[in-house]
Structure 1
């Protein structure tokens, strides 16, 4: 699976295009701020959120792939100002929501409590994003009409309201893990040199997917 295909799969899983995905493919630095305000505590929390989404089993989980640090880089380098603010504010909102559900911070919860909390957050994010899409639809259509009246070089990309913060975290968890050395060589099957295509390669139930 190449990176563009991975972005498409993540979009399907999370119900929306991966924020900053095209910039990630291009490898350019266009973020709103050189420092989006991340702290060491933020990175540790994001590592644990990611580990709950992709836990270690017989292979390493998201924390081993340093996904928290990956999120910091992506948000800083590839997110717009509105997206950065929504993500960073969301770190605090996540902890507050967890305290309401379990009467303690996310870092203090058991793995079972963390999982139950993120399941509830997934539902909240889906409803939030649907309302956001409905509200943005007329604005998106108006922007499209304005673009159609402009020369191609003068057209701009529509920036809607940011996704729910958990959607961003989940997208970056999947993207960071499956493009990391850990994810590609220890979770996925990886061949480091080109080889011939074999359409009848034997498959056994439980075999890992391939990485490119």
Structure 2
């Protein structure tokens, strides 16, 4: 009888450990690891930022579907000056610190409303700042990457592989997609 009771209690303890959310087993505070260079940036983080800027809608995939995170890292690495790269890295560190202070969790794990709230705050910060802001770079990379991708050109916009004549100013009907040129 003692063996049976011991095994039952052992199974209950094992089950409780499995069922307890992992957040309860970790410390209560999220401490982000500071990024030091471009290689430290997680593409999944940039995918989530991109998806928050250009979310999926019915019938049109969002920025994450284009692999925007990998695109942004490649562009930062290959096309941006060192001071712009440092601005982005420090900005992402700032974003991680804000997530830790406000929500005690990484940006990737926030719900969509929290992500929108954070990015709206960054947008306001960028608009009110007199100097170059990292959010401007991230937003610009997201828009350029998305609308130059196959998904952005063929699904988010009306795509004509063989265009007709040139019309410089053509009104759009309600709900019509803009043309991809």
> TM exceeds 0.5?
yes
The structural deviation recorded for 1:37 is 2.7
Secondary structure of the residue aligned to 2:101 is: helix
Between the aligned partners of 1:203 and 1:165, the Cα distance in structure 2 is 34
Cα distance in 2, alignment partners of residues 200 and 125 from structure 1:
32
**Residue 180 of structure 1: which of 143, 149, 171 is its match?**
149
> What is the aligned length?
144
**Aligned Cα root-mean-square deviation (Å):** 1.9
Which residue is equivalent to 1:95? 96
Whether 1:195 and 2:164 are equivalent positions in the alignment is: yes
State the match for 2:18 in structure 1: none
Structure number with higher relative contact order (C-alpha < 8 Å, ≥ 6 residues apart): 1
Question: Contact 1:42–1:91 at 8 Å: present in 2 too?
Answer: no
SS of the aligned residue for 1:205 comes to coil
Aligned to 2:74: 73
Paired residues of 1:184 and 1:211 also in contact (CA < 8 A): yes
Residues 107-186 of structure 1 mapped to structure 2, 5 A cutoff: 107-128=108-129, 130=130, 132=131, 163-186=132-155
Distance in 2 (CA, whole Å) between partners of 1:173 and 1:199 is 27
TM normalised by structure 1 equals 0.63
How far is the alpha carbon of 1:208 from its aligned partner? Answer: 0.2
Note if contact 2:38-2:76 (Cα within 8 Å) is conserved in structure 1.
no
Larger radius of gyration: 2
Residues 209 and 42 of structure 1, relative CA distance in 2, 3 Å threshold? same
Q: Following TM superposition, where does structure 1 have runs of at least 4 consecutive aligned residues deviating by more than 6 angstroms?
A: 199-202
For structure 1, list consecutive stretches of 5 or more residues without a partner in the other structure. 1-35, 133-162
**What residue is the counterpart of 2:32 in the other structure?**
none
Q: Distance in 1 between matches of 2:69 and 2:62?
A: 12
Query: Structure 2: where are the runs of 5+ without partners?
Result: 1-36
Give the whole-Å Cα distance in 1 for the aligned partners of 2:87 and 2:156. 31
